[in-house]
Homo-oligomer: A and B are copies of this chain.
């Protein structure tokens, strides 16, 4: 994964009426077309998110949802021992949501929470065998869907999209903490 900076031939402030600050400090009205474009973008993102969520949930064993799978998958891919807050930040979720998700996973014996030796306030999240197993099973159960999609959506297209979406995700992320 290369880190292409999210700036190609961009529209600088000179192209963007909303960025030209006039004397009284107000902002010029945003170009309606630009506005519509970004709304359309987030709209598509939202619908695809919804669709993929539903698709995954249909193949997931009863009671466990995408949220749970995502956490397990994250830990398998990037290594366990992370703190709850680390994980919450990775998914851009509030920490209270992560507390709840982790407590369900813990009840299901798919993770173990241990005190963080480096920080008395914190904890570390470890996968159990059952957690890894569940994650593997979930992925396997999704294979038919992924296979079907990979024959309908060109891999190359998806590959390029992932890069660009990752850039945008980083940009949004940076923008969020001003």
Contact = CB atoms under 8 A, between A and B. Distances in A.
A45 B37 contact: no
Tell me how many chains of this kind the complex includes.
2
Interface-centre pick from A56, A151, A153 (highest chain B CB count, 10 A): A153
The range of chain A's interface size is 35 or more
Contact of A143 (B35, B53, B92, B158): B35
A172 interface: yes
A55 B176 contact: yes
Contacts of A149: 38, 171-172, 175
Given A12-B151, A172-B51, A173-B51, A37 B159 contact: yes
Interface stretch (A1-9, A103-111, A118-126): A1-9
Interface in A34-70: 34-35, 37-56, 66, 70
Interface of A: 6-13, 16, 18-19, 27, 29-30, 34-35, 37-56, 66, 70, 73, 91-93, 139, 143-144, 146-159, 161-162, 164-169, 171-173, 175-176
